[in-house]
Structure 1
Amino acid sequence: MSIYVGNLSYQVTQEDLSAVFAEYGTVKRVQLPTDRETGRLRGFAFVEMDSDAEETAAIEALDGAEWMGRDMKVNKAKPREERGGGGGYRGGGGGGGGDRRGNNNFSRRY
């Protein structure tokens, strides 16, 4: 099981989160996702603890608690859902090259 921790400060570190959650048990892992393009923290994290009982205690104690100037959102992480629909094949043929109005921008000169 994993814990979702949301509404985090963008200055938070793995060490900061480990220290806070360690008050409720053994922290096995902390993940702080970053934006692919900017490398900036995304404002949420996932924390894994040694047992379900420790995770439940941390969730009950920390959900809604103010930390680093923000009210944390702490709950059980939900399984990641698949994006899009209907598999990876999009089908279709060539085309493209137009803007939203259907204009072909390739032949324009500005």
Structure 2
Amino acid sequence: MGSKIYVGGLPYSTTEQQLSDLFAAHGSVASARIITDKFTGQSRGFGFVEMSSDSEAQAAIAALNGTQLGGRTLTVNEARPQEPRSGGGGRGGFGGGRH
């Protein structure tokens, strides 16, 4: 297990400082990042927190998963490695146009 945690269901107004403060009650926070839309800069409602150790990460997951923040239920679990993206543009393999 890694010490990187996925946090979903965040209120769109949550700041990175608030996210860090939330997890600091469960150990030492190495970093906290909220993912934003690259065009608008608006929060996408999820982020990642990195704890200093695996045991702190496990404690934070156990304590915070399913809890409420700003009226929304948090999903807190181990972050999985990002899937490599293909350069195909998201279309199916069979042309995508009208026939």
Tell me the TM-score range normalised by the shorter chain.
0.7 to 0.9
In the alignment, is residue 58 of structure 1 matched against residue 60 of structure 2?
Answer: yes
Instruction: Please give the alpha-carbon distance, in whole angstroms, between the structure 2 residues aligned to 1:42 and 1:24.
Output: 24
| Larger relative contact order, structure 1 or 2 (CA cutoff 8 Å, min sep 6) | 2
- The residue aligned with 1:4 is 6
Gaps of 5+ in 1: 91-99, 103-110
* Equivalent in the alignment of 1:37: 39
Per the normalisation by structure 1, the TM-score is: 0.76
| TM-score, length of structure 2 as denominator length | 0.84
Counterpart-to-counterpart distance in 2, 1:39 and 1:13: 12
SS at match of 1:60: helix
| 1:74 partner amino acid | V
> Which structure's CA Rg is the greater one?
1
Corresponding residue to 1:82 among 81, 84, 89? 84
Q: State the percentage of identical aligned residues.
A: 48
More strand by share: 2
Unmatched runs of 5 consecutive residues or more in structure 2: 90-96
What's the Cα RMSD here? Answer: 1.8
Between the two proteins, the alignment pairs up a number of residues equal to 90
Runs of 4+ in structure 1 deviating by more than 2 angstroms, as ranges, are: none
